[in-house]
Amino acid sequence: MKLNIYCLIMKIIIFNCIVYVDASEYKIWGPGLKPEIVMPARYFFIESIPNCDTNLLELIDLDIKIEGSKIDSNKPCRIWTNILNRNDGSYIVRYKLYEPCINVKIDIKVRGENIKGFPLTFKYIMFSEDCNCNIHNVSSFINNWECGETQTQIKEDLHLFKGIDFGKIRKRIVSTYDNPGAVSLCNYVIKNNLIYRKCYGQHVGFKMFMDNILLSLTRKVLLPDFEMFVNLGDWPLVKDTNEIFPIFSWCGSKDSFDIVMPTYDITESTLESMGRVMLDMLSVQGNVRDKWENRHPKIFWRGRDSSRERLKLIEISRQYPDLFNVSLTNFFFFRNEMEKYGPTSKHVSFYDFFDAI
Ligand SMILES: *[C@@H]1O[C@H](CO)[C@@H](O)[C@H](O)[C@H]1NC(C)=O
Ligand SMILES: *[C@@H]1O[C@H](CO)[C@@H](O)[C@H](O)[C@H]1NC(C)=O
């Protein structure tokens, strides 16, 4: 039998049209639709579902209003709303509360018509990020935020450490990594939802990132009492030695035992969202100019020469120039190898990065 591929495809297309014609045209979801989820900037997504009249949702089609009242008067409370156009018919709506609000109303109209299910009104208090509102216990927090299953990686990293007694190992951790010029290590204790810390090393400025995420958590949730060590460096610490210690890090590798957690630029991106943030993971999505289809299927990378692996990447890219567009932006550690791994190319800003090739 000759398989008529055109028929098959037409059927799929027609079937899809029939399925979608009567269905709701827009999908709206995200944590910003749940008032109990307190974030520095709340956000949700609007996506137009492909339809037979494939009019992409344009920014001018959207009319979004988010308003609420102060809790002690009927006056409007301060909310700042910001819409990010991802240039593919989908949008990210962000809004920031500068004070607690009640009767927050989220109204979304598309081409002048109310979207099904909107306006949404929340009659209870919506808290702002700076509120000390640790009304949740851990399980209700994880439940409300729909955190889902614990990631396999963190389970595996923690699996190595059972029944940790910091009373016994704390001193040994501090002495094992006593190398003030090279190692920056902080010991945190959370007790009665208060944060205590002691840092070791000459360069411990990055403790502010860990402090900030812990402070943000303790404002939202009653944390159980616990203790941890955090490596502030950008290289894993716990190498295969006689004894491995539980240390949280922003980086890991196959030959180290650090417990890897989200990096400081990711946590900062969330905490400073709609504020003074350098690497904003959401707003960068609203800066994309080129369509996905127009991109080149290549790996794009820029960075300085901070490790030998990066030089290796340059070598690999020279073997496969059609797959890689990578280059160093600066020489500092391997200046004597500039001939081989240069020339350098210009720094590419984070906001241009995803349009670079
Ligand atoms: C946590 O809070 C929820 C909701 O307030 C409550 O139902 C639950 O019993 C609490 N759990 C614990 C362990 O306190
Ligand atoms: C690599 O990317 C840069 C920055 O977009 C571009 O100027 C350059 O032409 C690209 N190089 C190649 C070989 O495609």
Residue nearest to atom 10 of ligand 1 (CA): 137
Do 140 and 160 belong to one domain? no
Residue that is last in its domain, among 224, 240, 271: 271
Is residue 51's pLDDT more than 80? no
- The answer to whether residue 336 is domain-embedded is yes
Is residue 11's pLDDT more than 50? no
Tens-digit pLDDT profile for residues 118-158: 999 999 899 999 998 877 889 999 888 888 888 899 999 99
Tens-digit pLDDT profile for residues 221-240: 999 999 999 999 988 999 87
Residue nearest to atom 11 of ligand 2 (CA): 325
Do 174 and 228 belong to one domain? yes
Question: Which domain, by its residues, includes 330?
Answer: 288-353
Give residue 278's pLDDT.
73
Tens-digit pLDDT profile for residues 329-349: 999 999 999 999 989 999 998
Q: Which residues line ligand 1 (CB under 6 A)?
A: 137, 139-140
Do 174 and 222 belong to one domain? yes
Do 321 and 212 belong to one domain? no
**What are the residue ranges of helices labelled H in the chain?**
5-21, 138-144, 152-159, 166-176, 207-220, 264-271, 308-319, 338-341, 350-353
- The answer to whether residue 8 is domain-embedded is no
Do 100 and 173 belong to one domain? no
- The answer to whether residue 311 is domain-embedded is yes
| C-beta of 317 in contact with ligand 2 (< 6 A) | no
User: Domain of 79: which CATH number?
Assistant: 2.60.40.10
Tens-digit pLDDT profile for residues 254-265: 899 999 999 998
Percent of the chain at pLDDT exceeding 70? 92
**What are the residue ranges of helices labelled H in 177-230?**
207-220
Question: What's the CA-to-centroid distance between 325 and ligand 2, angstroms?
Answer: 6
Is residue 77's pLDDT more than 80? yes
Number of domains in the chain: 3
Residue that is last in its domain, among 238, 271, 304: 271
- Least confident range from 7-21, 62-76, 247-261: namely 7-21
- The answer to whether residue 282 is domain-embedded is no
Do 184 and 122 belong to one domain? no
